[in-house]
Structure 1
Amino acid sequence: MRPSAQDAAGTGTGRTGTSAGAARPVRVPAPPGAGDTDRARARGAGEPVGAARGEHTHSEPPPPRPRALVQRSSVRGQVLDALRTALVSGELRPGEVYSAPALGERFGVSATPVREAMQQLALEGAVEVVPNRGFRVVERGDRELAELAEVRALIEVPVMLRLARTVPAERWAELRPFAEATVRAASSGCPATYAEADRAFHRAVLALAGNDQLVRIAGDLHRRAQWPPAGAPAVRGRADLIADAHEHTALLDALIAGDLDVVRALVGEHYTGAP
Structure 2
Amino acid sequence: MSIDVPQERPRPALGSLSGRASLRSRVAEALREALVVGELEPGSIYSAPALAQRLGVSATPVREAMMELAQEGLVEPLRHRGYRVVEFSDRALDEILEVRTLLEAPMVGQAVPLAGPEQVADLRALADGIERAAADGDLTGFIAADTAFHLRLLSIAGNTRLVEEVRRLRGMSRLSAVKRLHEEGLLASTMREHHALLDLVEAGDAAGAEDLMRRHLGHVRGVWAGRSEQA
Q: What's the TM-score bracket when you normalise by the shorter of the two chains?
A: 0.7 to 0.9
Matched residue type, 1:266:
L
- Partners of 1:169 and 1:26 lie apart in 2 by 36
Aligned-pair CA distance for 1:128: 0.7
Residues 1:171 and 1:274: Cα distance change in structure 2 (over 3 Å): farther
Going from structure 1 to structure 2, the CA distance change for 1:80 and 1:219 (only over 3 Å counts) comes to closer
Corresponding residue number in structure 1 for 2:102:
154
Opposite residue 125 of structure 1, the aligned amino acid is G
TM-score (norm 1): 0.64
What corresponds to 2:195 in structure 1?
A: 249
Q: CA deviation at 1:186?
A: 1.5
Structure 1 residues 128 and 211: CA distance shift in structure 2, 3 A: same
Q: State the AA in 1 paired with 2:27.
A: V
User: Which residue of the other structure, out of 112, 117, 135, is the alignment partner of 1:170?
Assistant: 117
Q: What TM-score, normalized to structure 2?
A: 0.74
**Tell me, what secondary structure is at the counterpart of 2:84?**
strand
- 1:36-56 superposed Cα distances (whole Å, 9 cap, x missing partner): xxxxxxxxxxxxxxxxxxxxx
For residue 213 of structure 1, what is the aligned residue in structure 2?
161
- Is there any run of 5+ residues in structure 1 with no aligned partner, and where? 1-19, 28-70
Alignment of 1:59-208 (within 5 A): 74-164=22-112, 166-167=113-114, 170=117, 173-174=120-121, 175-208=123-156
Tell which deviates more after alignment, 140-149 or 82-91: 82-91
Q: CA deviation at 1:23?
A: 5.0
Contact between 1:90 and 1:235, CA under 8 Å: does it hold in 2?
A: no
Deviation at 1:205, TM superposition (A): 1.4
Tell me the equivalent position of 2:209.
263
- Structure whose alpha-carbon radius of gyration is higher: 1
Match of 1:26 among 18, 31, 38: 18
- Could you say what secondary structure the match of 1:237 adopts? helix
Q: State the distance in 2 between where 1:244 and 1:256 align.
A: 20
Contact 2:105 2:211 in 1 (8 A): no
Tell me: CA distance 1:179–1:131, structure 2 relative to 1, closer, same or farther (3 Å). same
* Structure 1 runs of 4+ with >6 Å offset: none
The share of aligned pairs that are identical, in percent, is 42
1:26–1:109 Cα contact (<8 Å) kept: yes
8 Å Cα contact 2:48/2:82 also seen in 1? yes
Deviations 1:161-205 (A, max 9, x none): 2333x2367366433222222212221212211111111111221
SS of corresponding position for 1:274: coil
Distance 2:163 2:53 in 1: 35
Distance 1:139 1:236, change over 3 A: farther
- Tell me the distance in 1 between the aligned counterparts of 2:44 and 2:82: 10
Pair 1:203–1:103, CA change in 2 (3 A) = closer
Amino acid at match of 2:151: R
Corresponding residue pairs, total:
206
Within-5 A mapping of 1:1-40: 23-24=15-16, 26=18
Inter-CA distance 243–138: structure 2 relative to 1 (3 Å threshold): same
**Of the two structures, which has the highest relative contact order with CA contacts closer than 8 Å and spacing of 6 or more?**
2
Q: Is the 8 A contact 1:254 1:262 kept in 2?
A: yes
Distance 1:23 1:203 in 2: 23
Q: 2:104 touches 2:166 (CA, 8 Å); kept in 1?
A: yes
Distance 1:96 1:233, change over 3 A: farther
Instruction: Letter of the 1:257 partner, please give it.
Output: A
- Return the alpha-carbon distance in structure 1 between the equivalents of residues 203 and 189 of structure 2: 21
